[in-house]
Amino acid sequence: MAEGRNLVGVDIGASSVKVVQLKQSRKNLQVVRYGYAPLPPQTIIDGHIMSSGVVVEALAKIFQDNKIQSRDVAVGVYGQSVIVRKITVPMMTNEELDEQISWEAEQHIPFDIKVMSIDYEILRRRPEAGQMDLLLVAAKRDEINDYASILREAKLRPSVVDINAFTIQNIFEHQQGLPDDGSIALLNVGAAVTSLNIVSHGISAFTREITNAGNAITEEIQKQVSVPYEQAEAYKCGGGPTQIVPQEVHQVISSACDALAGEIQRSLDFYLATSGEPEISRVFVSGGSAYLHPLCAAVEKRARVPVIVFDPTLNLTVDTKFVNEVEMRSRAAQLVVALGLALRQDKERRT
């Protein structure tokens, strides 16, 4: 349960840094600060920050240019150093679970437990079966420390570290609510990673990261059409106001999107085969590549369910004195993690 002041959401992605600050008014949430800074290629690889100085500089510039005074932040992590498992344990009290959780984690995490930070959430208590279902989350401590030290170097105070896939669920739940029945898929197609979170009966039932995403589409254009990376990225994003995208580029994008949709479908099939659920009713897509029509069309064709681009800013008001609303809304699908993080507050307690 959350209470207190909203933290500033900081999303350090593979291609850019996004920062959002929210304020709770009497009627709704308002975006009171927003900042965006692109990062050079290879700054972050599989969630590992390779050029910390570049990220520190980007963060400092965003906070200074956008007059963000609060220094208490929530940051998201992703990549191979993060493990998420849904597990079942015997019924016990919260105190007993706190004592037992390290032992339980050891049974499910393929890393030395001593180098991991462990957390959990109780999904469901089933007293009739003498069991309870948990969402177990573990992240390498070194990775968390790297992010924390970069934030501190940028004169920020890290208060919360969250998992990107769950921040998306948080903002989706806030904006649209979660269905009590059936399953929906929350798909975030970033630059380096596509994250899938299937929410069933209101709780997260399955998460997976696919190391095929927006950058792979850009690289395919670069390779097939023999243009520099920056040009390929511009083609992928529509060519800009002055350039016409060659027909062959459209074909490359369509083929690359279909390949990614195939990987997504394999994950959906695996979930359906192992969960016993009959179907997924809808797929909501966010992330920088959510606006690629061929991707949404390919996922919809394979999954045979409606695919909807999720706009996490839809019901938010904007303080236009400090926020360029047109620019912010043009990047809406890219801000989903930062907005989810910005929902976190400086005083939270476990229920």
Q: Which fold has domain 2-219+247-348?
A: Nucleotidyltransferase; domain 5 (3.30.420)
**Mean pLDDT lowest among 44-53, 129-138, 164-173, 266-275:** 44-53
pLDDT at residue number 284: 97
pLDDT at residue number 245: 85
The mean pLDDT of 116-140, rounded to a whole number, is 91
Query: What count of other Cβ atoms lies within 10 Å of the Cβ of residue 76?
Result: 26
Distance, in Å, from the CA atom of 114 to the CA atom of 111, rounded to the nearest integer, reads 8
pLDDT at residue number 242: 61
Task: Please give the model's pTM, rounded to 2 decimal places.
Answer: 0.91
Average model confidence (pLDDT) for the chain? 91
> Quick one: 263 exposed, middle or buried, by C-beta within 10 A (0-12, 13-18, 19+)?
middle
Q: Is the pLDDT of residue 350 over 50?
A: no
The mean pLDDT of 270-296, rounded to a whole number, is 92
pLDDT at residue number 351: 41
Distance, in Å, from the CA atom of 87 to the CA atom of 136, rounded to the nearest integer, reads 7
Distance, in Å, from the CA atom of 236 to the CA atom of 249, rounded to the nearest integer, reads 8
Q: Is the pLDDT of residue 186 over 90?
A: yes
33-43 pLDDT, tens digit per residue, is 999 999 998 89
pLDDT at residue number 278: 81
At 98, list the tokens: 């706190």
147-185 pLDDT, tens digit per residue, is 999 999 999 999 999 999 999 999 999 999 998 888 999
**What is each CA distance from 326 to 141, 293, 312, 313, 318, in whole angstroms?**
39, 21, 15, 12, 10
Distance, in Å, from the CA atom of 279 to the CA atom of 122, rounded to the nearest integer, reads 24
How remote is the C-alpha of 224 from its chain's centroid? 30
pLDDT at residue number 4: 65
pLDDT at residue number 80: 79
Instruction: Report yes or no: 16 and 39 within 8 Å, Cβ to Cβ.
Output: yes
**Mean pLDDT lowest among 55-59, 76-80, 141-145, 338-342:** 76-80
